[in-house]
Amino acid sequence: MSGRQGGKAKPLKQKKKQQHDLDPEELAFKEKQKADAAAKKAMMGNIKAGKPLVGGGIKKSGKK
């Protein structure tokens, strides 16, 4: 037998992912992450559109 292998090498088999039940804390955390990502995406859209980050402008104390 020679040291050369003919043909294409077979890929290694990967383990199947196990699905585990998520507890309520994990579900709440994932929902919070989704909400944060959506808020960040909306804010980035506003920045690209040239809208101000905060409304109201400069606040003055009223004293002279």
* Residue 42 lies inside a defined structural domain of this protein: yes
Closest CA to 54 of 46, 16, 30, 62: 46
Longest dimension (CA), the chain: 96
Provide the whole-model pTM: 0.46
* Residue 31 lies inside a defined structural domain of this protein: yes
**Looking at the 3D structure of the chain, how many domains does it have?**
1
* Residue 7 lies inside a defined structural domain of this protein: no
* Residue 30 lies inside a defined structural domain of this protein: yes
Plot region of 30 (φ>0 → left; ψ -120 to 50 → alpha; else → beta): alpha
Range of the domain at 32: 24-48
* Residue 56 lies inside a defined structural domain of this protein: no
* Residue 53 lies inside a defined structural domain of this protein: no
The pLDDT tens digits along the chain (64 residues) read 556 667 788 888 888 877 777 788 988 999 999 999 999 999 888 888 877 666 666 767 776 6
How far, in Å, CA of 31 to CA of 33, rounded?
Answer: 5
Contact criterion met (CB below 8 Å) for 20 and 26:
no
* Residue 14 lies inside a defined structural domain of this protein: no
* Residue 17 lies inside a defined structural domain of this protein: no
